[in-house]
């Protein structure tokens, strides 16, 4: 299996790094501006802070109701945009929130998510 992207595990929290390129596309790569937590409890796409979404070329497509880890339900705007992971450009949905990568978007790019707690490394592989 080939690693599409490598990230780190810090205090038992796996994350990948990303940045928004000049075309407004989220790029996930090892050396980047901010971190996105791999959230296996988030079945959806990608959550990002509002200020990062404002840098992106995303389109508001809907409003949806989401259940947070606390059990609270919130209504959030849903945006459509692109993310590049390794050699894959994926169209997916984004919501405002903490910087999180959901299982839906990870499964579109790779077939295996590997967590190595000894090496403090997370890998998404194809």
pLDDT digits (tens, 9 = 90+) for 56-68: 999 999 999 988 8
- The β-bridge partners of 123 are 6, 114
| Sequence-separated (6 or more) residues with CB below 8 Å from residue 82 | 25, 26, 57, 89, 90, 91, 92
**Tokens coding 72:** 């609270």
Contact by Cβ (8 Å): 16, 83: no
Tokens 């499964």 correspond to: 107
Confidence (pTM): 0.92
**Tokens coding 103:** 């299982």
Q: Into how many domains does the chain fold?
A: 1
pLDDT band at 4 (very low <50, low <70, confident <90, very high): confident
In angstroms, the CA 52 to CA 96 distance is: 9
Domain extent for 38: 3-125
Look at residue 1 and tell me whether its pLDDT is greater than 80.
no
Radius of gyration of the chain from its Cα atoms, rounded to whole angstroms? 14
Domain at 106, CATH number = 2.40.70.10
pLDDT at 87: 84
């Amino acid at each position: 299996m080939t690693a599409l992207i490598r990230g780190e595990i810090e205090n038992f929290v796996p994350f990948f790094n990303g940045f928004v390129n000049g075309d407004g596309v989220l790029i996930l790569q090892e050396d980047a501006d901010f971190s996105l937590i791999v959230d296996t409890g988030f079945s959806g796409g990608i959550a990002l802070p509002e200020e990062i979404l404002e840098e992106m070329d995303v389109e508001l497509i809907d409003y949806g109701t989401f259940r947070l880890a606390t059990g609270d339900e919130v209504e959030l705007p849903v945006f459509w945009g692109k993310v590049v992971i390794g050699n894959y450009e994926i169209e997916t949905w984004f919501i405002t929130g903490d910087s999180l990568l959901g299982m839906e978007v990870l499964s579109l790019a790779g077939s295996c998510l590997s967590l190595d707690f000894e090496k403090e490394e997370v890998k998404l592989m194809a």
